[in-house]
Structure 1
Amino acid sequence: MPAASPRQAGLEAEAQALAHLQQQGLQLLARNWLCKGGELDLVMLDGDTVVFVEVRYRLHAQWGGALESIDARKVARVVNAARLYLHKEARWAHHPCRFDVIALEGTASKDMHLNWLRNAFES
């Protein structure tokens, strides 16, 4: 069986992250929300808090793990996309917000290590 493409592996990691968050009681508001200059992987609702989730996947940590792949430029893009989301989806604009990261590493979904970092960065 051929190895999954990087895009397919990323989609599978995102699906695993979504399933994990839903098991923890979060509700999906948007997935792969696109805007000029950025994308929000997952937008979830945790109680009354809007949670912007960046999903990062790495096969292994040889050249830096999934968490280490988030630099200041990436943070700025996610924060900007979140601002645009709240502007477009005004019903959520007055809710508390936070930024989470789900980092996955490994080869198969059953062998993947999932690390959920709440409040990963602030705007």
Structure 2
Amino acid sequence: MEGRKAIGTHFEGVAARYLASRGVKIRERNVYNRGGEIDLIGQDEDTLVFFEVRYRGSGSLVDPASSISYSKQQRLLKAVSFYLHRHHLRDTLCRIDVVAISPGTLKKYRVQWIKNAIQAGV
């Protein structure tokens, strides 16, 4: 399990650098609360963004973005809701994005930023 944690930490760093290069200000990393874990929290202009970072190696049968199960999405929504409530940010403009990372062909990694990837059902 320690190896998986180190890999997760590495790719969260890759995602944070990628997002920072595109103007996102990273506010927090690895936020744990009653709802679950939020990998990264950042500010994209006037929007508070919660990021789920996913990595899949070249041997994976599923691309990183598709690896987020329905139950994982529900845990993320719960974690975000709890975070917003705890910090009195209920009226804050926010969204949940996914940063999907896989081995690249021209560069070391292929990074895909999917904005508003996970939404609460209305």
Question: 2:49 aligns to what SS in structure 1?
Answer: strand
Task: Tell me what 1:19 maps to.
Answer: 17
Query: Within 5 A, what are the aligned runs for 1:1-123?
Result: 5-60=3-58, 62-90=60-88, 92-106=89-103, 111-123=108-120
- When the two structures are superposed, what TM-score results if normalisation uses the length of structure 1? 0.86
Structure 2: runs of 5 or more not aligned: none
**1:118 alignment partner, SS class:** strand
Give the fraction of aligned pairs with identical amino acids, expressed as a percent: 34
Mapped partners of 2:20, 2:70: distance in 1: 28
Structure richer in strand, relative to its length? 2
The CA deviation string for residues 52-86 of structure 1, in whole angstroms up to 9 with x for no partner, is 10000111253212111101111110010001111
Match of 1:65, SS?
A: coil
Q: Which amino acid is 2:93 matched to?
A: P
SS where residue 19 of structure 1 aligns? helix
- After superposition, what is the alpha-carbon deviation per residue over 1:6-41, rounded to whole angstroms, capped at 9, x for unaligned? 322221110010011111111122110001241000
TM-score, with length taken from structure 2: 0.87
- State the one-letter code of the partner of 1:32: N
In structure 1, C-alpha distance between the alignment counterparts of 2:27 and 2:52, rounded to whole Å:
14
Shift of 1:93: 2.7
